Structure 1
Amino acid sequence: MFITKKSIPRRTLLRGAGAALGLPLLDAMVPAATVLAQTAASGPRRFFAGFVPHGAAPGYWVPEKEGPLAAELPFTWKPLEPYRDNLTILTGLHATSSEPPPGETGADHWVAAAFLCAEKPKKTAGADVHAGHTIDQIIAEKIGRETLLPSVEMSVEDPGSGSSNCGEGYSCVYTNTFSWASPTTPLPMELNPQVVFERMFGSGSTPEQRVARRQRNQSILDSINAKISSLRKEISVPDRSRLDNFTENVREIERRLQIAANATTTAPEGFAVPPGIPQSFDEHIKLMFDLLALGFQADITRVATLLFARDLTGRVYPESEAPTLGFHGGSHHGEDPQRIDQLSKINQYHVKMLAHFVDKLAKTEDGDGSLLDHSLLLYGSNMGNPNQHLHYDVPHVLLGGNHGLMKGGRHLAYPTKTVPTGNLLVSLLDQFDIHRESIGDSTGRLENI
């Protein structure tokens, strides 16, 4: 038998004129006569965590029964129904790390930092901040070393906006980010999708070159067009289709970024949106998710976090079914059924944005499966019923197959006020072959995870 198939490295980058384009996984990256599932080209694992404050509307998110998910999901999770087989809903968890320390008050709105480390942040408004080493960074140390960006931290709300007064003796950093490289090293979350794009695809260029390219309205693809054409001649027809789809997505994102950079529309009243950032929350978060999907596809990064909103935000969501309701004000519903119903519509809208990302991953081929098959996604909050700042019975969901290690289609119900969220974090580390006895407030591992 003669084997003539050529193999190109998985980490191939097409460089030119200050640009570097990572490529999606192609058949040509699999060594000849090698079973795909037995190679590194079968797709690495990815991890994503999304945090949203202010809990969830009671009565709208908990499934009626434990065990297999019903055909119709609770109202909050309905946008995820097409991905039911990849979805696990967790109920009953207790975010004890988000409760005020003994004898203290006012921590409730300053503890997004506890979401991925399950440790109570130190009460300080100075530079001596202290939280915990978050699991996204622990995972990045394990699976992100071979990528251009070991992790990506994103936000869709400007820390400089008027969404929070950072009072009660807590530093603003505790609500501006939930990703920490060490207990004393918070990582800033990038708000501008143009910056995220440049970090992913502008490697090797100077800021001046990138500005000049945008002013010429030149695509990053134009600078490497000859290399793309040359590569197309060397790969199979299916690979050409994958490459064409990928480059079309890159060009489409550039087009949307150009529109955002030139936008002159007015931001929501009282909400500061820096230049170059989409005025619409809907467009902003979808653009961030589309960039992240490309980053996962090209193996530019394998770990990412996204802050959906900051505590105390008064932002409204015109594209939701509660278009005039401020998020924080709406979370204090006073147990009024009509106001709870309105809050549930904001909750569902946020999940709809998550579903946009999930859909991208599910439809993107990645070796012997899809990006969703090879990823593990966490989405949740550190409050349950937000009306009185309750931190038990907090909503969390998991999505994705993580290379067959995660089973979906389930509702896992745990005894209320009994199982800390730290147990979930320890169990998620296990999913990435990182085995620790404890993290934060954990008392063990989650059963049946």
Structure 2
Amino acid sequence: MKPLARRTFLQGVGATLALPMLDAMRPARAAAAAGSAPRRMAYVFFPNGAIMPDWKPEGVGADYELPRTLQPLARHKSDLLVISGLAHDMARAHGDGAGDHARSCATFLTGSHPRKTDGADIEVGVSVDQVAASEIGNQTRLPSLELGIEAGRQAGSCDSGYSCAYSSNISWKSATTPMAKEINPRAVFERLFGNGVDDAKARAERNFYRKSILDFVSDDAARLRSQLGQTDRRKLDEYLTSVREIEQRIEQSDVETKRQIPDMPMPEGVPSELSQHIRLMYDLMLVAFQTDSTRIATFMLANEGSNRAYREVEVKDGHHQLSHHRDDEKKVAQLQKIDQFLIEQFAYFLDRLKATPDGEGTLLDHTMITYGCAISDGNRHRHEDLPCLVAGKGGGAVTTGRHMKIESETPMANLFLSQLEAVGVQRDRLGDSTGKLPGLTV
């Protein structure tokens, strides 16, 4: 059989389904070659800083111990690089007064200081993900994917005279253009699997007949299955099953949403439980990587300054309110619960990545996911010694299984320069970078 093109799709009326990497997509001489899978990069942001004594590991190098907050990642310790010492100086005031939350969010992936304005003249810098998308985004159907949990405003004042656009976005296509995130899993699903031709009509037809996207590509899937070997047939069946499971979870979310009378408008398709929402978005990111629909993604677990309550872990007070804890032990304990809850969801994502074959390894082997923010101590709005970890080996670009302690005040943008180089994008500078970060590989 002639090898399948890597960008083979299953086609149907109103639906296009990208496929994962199959053995049939690689010529025999390439099948034995290691490193054949593409490298992916993702950035996951959480708000309001962290309780750092429970975040920062003891020990350095491979001899480190995971602290309390990171314990849910214990089974992935060998796939983690925890970095201490990074800073975001551009998140500091530099004469602009209050507004650390807005600045930290805008600075997180740009390394640039945002203009203080609540008008239309917003300006910060291009984010690392969009620098990558501008160079390698044309290799996939979607240049990049921007996901979130909380809706955000793009105008008005959200933090001491800073535009809401700064608090609601970490991805910036240009210095003045944020990349709006999608919080509705159904919309993300349609973006990944719709064919771009009369999608609204196709969605309406599917909803009317209660059909799955898989029903619309079933004929094409059957034809392809007949051409595949036993291993590829199993891979295809597992993949199609996972797509259907995501569909079913989205449909169930619709039902649950319609049963409730929420305190605020809830977009159709958004699960009522936060953990379900987060995990569904992680699963969509995984499928986007698995099918090579994109190689670049960002995910905001909340907007910066978010005052969400985390009732799933019995935290009834608002997150931002608690972050100004003034060393109150009860508030610190509640904040640590939030930090650990979000890490538990991240561990779920790593579980899924590690269980998904990709080339000569797994998706986790060929992806580097940076998890962190631009505030360390939320009580004092500190922007040094930031909470930051990189999960996954990035196709050999990262040596994991260690705690890397670097010189204090090293710009986080130095890490981004090294990550850009790892995906084949050469840049001499990003934001306030001073050079590439040494020691990602040892």
What TM-score bracket applies, with the shorter chain setting the length? over 0.9
Do structure 1's residue 49 and structure 2's residue 40 form an aligned pair?
no
Secondary structure at the aligned position of 2:293 is classed as: coil
Q: Post-superposition shift, 1:141?
A: 2.5
Identity %: 39
Q: Is the CA contact (8 Å cut-off) linking 2:14 and 2:195 kept in structure 1?
A: yes
Q: Post-superposition shift, 1:205?
A: 3.5
Do structure 1's residue 437 and structure 2's residue 433 form an aligned pair?
no
Q: 45, 51, 73: which one pairs with 1:80? A: 73
Partner of 1:182: 174
Q: 39, 55, 62: which one pairs with 1:61? A: 55
Q: Is the CA contact (8 Å cut-off) linking 2:167 and 2:305 kept in structure 1?
A: no
Structure 1's 290 and 50: CA in aligned 2 closer, same or farther, altered over 3 A? same
Q: Is the CA contact (8 Å cut-off) linking 1:427 and 1:446 kept in structure 2?
A: yes
Mapped partners of 1:66, 1:255: distance in 2: 44
Secondary structure at the aligned position of 1:154 is classed as: strand
Q: 260, 275, 284: which one pairs with 1:282? A: 275
Mapped partners of 1:119, 1:166: distance in 2: 19
Do structure 1's residue 17 and structure 2's residue 21 form an aligned pair?
no
Q: Greater CA deviation, 148-157 or 434-443? A: 434-443
Within 5 Å, which residues of 2 pair with 1:32-181?
32-37=28-33, 42-70=36-64, 72-102=65-95, 104-111=96-103, 112-159=105-152, 166-181=158-173
Mapped partners of 2:46, 2:309: distance in 1: 14
Mapped partners of 2:365, 2:16: distance in 1: 27
Do structure 1's residue 448 and structure 2's residue 442 form an aligned pair?
no
What is the letter of the counterpart of residue 423 of structure 1? N
Q: Is the CA contact (8 Å cut-off) linking 1:158 and 1:272 kept in structure 2?
A: no
Within 5 Å, which residues of 2 pair with 1:140-289?
140-159=133-152, 166-206=158-198, 207-263=200-256, 264-266=258-260, 272-289=265-282
Mapped partners of 1:281, 1:29: distance in 2: 38
Give the number of aligned pairs: 436
Q: Is the CA contact (8 Å cut-off) linking 1:221 and 1:247 kept in structure 2?
A: yes
Q: Post-superposition shift, 1:436?
A: 2.3
Structure 1's 374 and 267: CA in aligned 2 closer, same or farther, altered over 3 A? farther
Partner of 2:354: 362
Q: 294, 297, 315: which one pairs with 1:323? A: 315
Secondary structure at the aligned position of 2:54 is classed as: coil
Q: Is the CA contact (8 Å cut-off) linking 2:147 and 2:182 kept in structure 1?
A: yes
Mapped partners of 2:324, 2:247: distance in 1: 39
Mapped partners of 1:78, 1:38: distance in 2: 32
Mapped partners of 2:298, 2:373: distance in 1: 13
Secondary structure at the aligned position of 1:79 is classed as: helix
Mapped partners of 2:75, 2:332: distance in 1: 26
Mapped partners of 2:63, 2:217: distance in 1: 47
Mapped partners of 2:201, 2:186: distance in 1: 14
Secondary structure at the aligned position of 2:250 is classed as: helix
Q: Greater CA deviation, 52-61 or 422-431? A: 422-431
CA RMSD of aligned residues (A): 1.9
Q: Which has the larger share of helix?
A: 2
Mapped partners of 1:92, 1:32: distance in 2: 46
- The runs of 5 or more residues in structure 2 that have no matched partner are none
Partner of 1:391: 383
Secondary structure at the aligned position of 2:138 is classed as: coil
Secondary structure at the aligned position of 1:387 is classed as: coil
What is the letter of the counterpart of residue 20 of structure 1? T
Mapped partners of 1:224, 1:202: distance in 2: 11
Q: 27, 33, 42: which one pairs with 1:31? A: 27
Q: Post-superposition shift, 1:325?
A: 3.6
Do structure 1's residue 293 and structure 2's residue 286 form an aligned pair?
yes
